[in-house]
Chain A
Amino acid sequence: MALRIVIALLILPLFLAIPLELPGCGPFLPEAVFHLQVDPEAPKDFARGELGILQPTYERLYQVIAYRYLAGVGLNQPEAQAISAGPPHPDSWDGSDNPWLAARNKVPGVAPLPRIDTYRQVQKEGFYGMYLNCNDDAFRTAASTLERLRAKPYAADWIAGQDMVFADCSKGAAIPAPASDPQLRADRAYQIASAKFYSEQYDAARQDFQAIAADSSSPWHEIAPYLVARCLIRAGKFADADTELQHIVADPVTARLHASAGGLRGFVRARLHPAERMHELALALVQPDSQATIAQDLIDYRVLFDQNVKPSEDDDLTAWILSFQSGGNGALEKWRATHALPWLVGALQAAGPKDSAVPELLAAASAVKPDSPAYVTVNYHRVRLLPADDARTLTGQLLKLDMPVSARNQLRAERLRLARNFEEFLTYAPRTPVDEDAKPGIDVLDDDSALVLDRAVPLALLKQASTSALLPDATRKNLQRVVSIRSLVLAESPDFDRVFRLLNTPGDSPFVRGGYGRFTEDPGKIDNYRDNWWCPVSGRNREQAAPVANFLSPPDRQQAAAEWTRLAALAAGPAWLGAQTLAFAERHPQDSRIPEALYLVVRASRYGCNDDKTGDVSKRAFDLLHRRYRNTEWATKTPYWYN
């Protein structure tokens, strides 16, 4: 019994160590990102006007916001909130929060329904597509109607009819029978019209809704014209729908429907007159105090933009977005004609240091005040365009300011490019990741500095970097390991003591990596994603010229190039380790470490990066282990070799 308890106590921690959730997909390995391409790192701050360095790759939502700020319109607090909240989300595919089901399933005597499928398939030859047939409003309306009718004697009859209506959301054409109880007549008529609507009988549904509209005793007569318009839209009769919606908007009696009808009209006009509608939206989107409409207008505008609707010639917002996203096409001419700030930003983005327009652009950029939303962007471009000495001074001033982390990272990258000595290079090498895996306060190397350290810097300088207080602790420690392995693989006759140690540290490599490095942090552990030791330098990287590092002396460059030539020719980690071990085993067959080392070589060929030599090395190590050391535990532990 005591033994069982001991075993149970030993096993229990294993269960506790199993994570509760294991995603079936992936792996999604963390990747350090230093500025985001699609959206800003803090969208809410961006909506408040903290634009950082404006990126042409941002989604158009952010281009519109940026234009408003650059044009001096900005966003008031309700507008910013409306944009941040996004559109009301249509009922999702998950029916768990359906208000109708929640209310209906509580009615005594009614069999509960687990879910309602709200999507219906388009019936068309050569086409497969689903559309949201029943949306949130329908379920909310049904729930509130149930509240009104639940105490009535015909409530169960009405619920049964409503079940038929919602069954049509996904398939079929079940239509409730006309009511025998006169008190249910009006509600049943509405159910019948709705069932026809959801089962795609749009003309019949329209006629029913028209009849309901004409029946002033029906509780549904006020909303019925709006549903007539929806039938016309579903049937593709946009012009008729537009006329119907105009009547609703013009009728003061239906005031509570005006906002919805106005929204539907926008939808209809986008299909009837896309260019006109896009122009209307572009004008509306730069109006102040547009909190009531800005969220939906932005959606409609972006949809039309994506459909490549030709913009109107006097639509400055669309012209600016098109120009800015294309890298600044035509921006210089527009800026010269208007001297407007959005176009200055566009023209600066397009300019290269040798362009003739640079002096006039720099003069205009230097006049932008620090409280302008464009200040960080225009000054980032000034850094790009100014002579090196001026750019260094300006970067130093800018980096003292408060700004988004991604903007700071980009300025540091520019300053790194302008480094005059190794110390300056190391000062600006670390960056702060802005991705969701970023750990607060932990800076790492970006690709630009990692590439220089890996390819352009000789081992002696790399060693210097590995002890420099200018780099974060973790980066320094990583570099110390790289220096150690690089000196080993570059040695004329690598020391076997160190080769043996390296066989036990799959996290070690002679190459410098940027970002978060290896997923498995402990260098002594095998990484489950095969990121162990190193892969050979790929053909493309081998042929690529070394990155420019102006601060290096000619002898340093020559030394780095010579070292890189040897590193680029290095076999993959397992093959290199195997070759070293086999050579040592030939020279020192009695060395007591050999059996274990051969086992470790085969293990490395299983878990490490392979090249065309790996299989051969693995087999030779396996053969030698089983031929010469077959009675050792290491031979027993090595039943296979790996190709």
Chain B
Amino acid sequence: MKTLAVIAGILAIAFLWPRPADPLTGFPNVFLWAWEVPEDLQFLDPHAAGVAFLARTVCLRDGSVSVRPRLQPLRYAPGTVLMAVVRVEPQDSKSPPVAAASAAIAEAAAIPHVRALQVDFDATLSQRAYYRELLANLRRRVPPSMPISMTALTSWCQADGWIAGLPVVEAVPMLFRMGPGERPARNFRPALCQSSAGVSVDEPLREPPSAARLYIFNPRPWTEATYRAALREVRKWH
């Protein structure tokens, strides 16, 4: 009887324990990453998927910032939820002032119809403090209603906890292009890493990710067929 009561207690806690709220409420659970290739995504159902498109690349070089805009066209259906992705590329060890880099990223938030910003910066160990400061500055710079997301190397979500407390709504672990024999984890401990995951259409996963929101990468331009196939795969998981 005592054992039953313990089990019942555990189950009750498990069910009643508050689950993390969706950090991107009202956003679709699937986002297609649209990288620097001509993309025609007018076939997307805006309720089924959003588009996280590379909007600009912010290059940090010789202590100054330069911006390379997206030069390939992106077409999308009206009503599609757009997330502007800004890639940050340090090209030497001389970082510019945080405010200058942050201002260049923040400009992407002003792109019409963009509802969220995603920062893609594969920061090395020595660049983490800079990245942290950059995100803090960016958070102050863009309107509070504009969520900031970030991509994350899986190691950031596994071995070390450096991303804890960053002023972003989510960190998207990229479960692809990993080392030989490395298996992407299914669950991650830091809260920021739990809601979303990034996968690629050309790398089938042995275990589906447990995250509720998926960002899907395609090394080639998206077609309706690849999109449908990716969606079928995702629906098998959720």
Contacts and interface: CB of A to CB of B under 8 A. Distances in A.
Interface in A386-435: none
Contact of A130 (B42, B71, B127, B183): B71
A93 interface: yes
A627 B126 CA distance: 40
B78 A125 contact: yes
Interface in A523-539: 529-531, 535
A529 B180 contact: yes
Contacts of A127: 73-76
Contacts of B10: none
A119 B56 CA distance: 11
B124 interface: yes
A76 interface: no
A554 interface: no
Given A121-B111, A128-B111, A22 B76 contact: no
Contacts of A608: 181
B73 A128 contact: yes
A95 interface: yes
A502 interface: no
A13 interface: no
Contact of B69 (A93, A529, A535, A609): A93
Interface residues of A, number: 29
B90 interface: yes
Interface stretch (B14-22, B60-68, B194-202): B60-68
Interface of A is mostly: loop
B156 interface: no
B154 to A, nearest CB: 13
Nearest to B131: A24
Contact of B121 (A22, A24, A123): A24
Interface residues of B, number: 38
Contacts, number: 76
Interface in B63-100: 64, 66-78, 82, 88-93
A22 B126 contact: yes
Contacts of B89: 24-25
B93 A24 contact: no
Contacts of B183: 610
Contact of A530 (B53, B55, B179): B179
A601 interface: no
Interface in A559-609: 572, 608-609
B181 A126 contact: no
B122 A24 contact: yes
A609 B180 contact: yes
A541 to B, nearest CB: 14
Nearest to B100: A114
B123 interface: yes
Listed residue (B59, B75, B181) with the most chain A CB atoms within 10 angstroms of its CB: B181
15 contacts: A22-B124, A22-B126, A24-B88, A24-B122, A94-B59, A94-B66, A94-B68, A95-B66, A119-B69, A126-B77, A127-B74, A128-B70, A128-B73, A129-B70, A535-B180
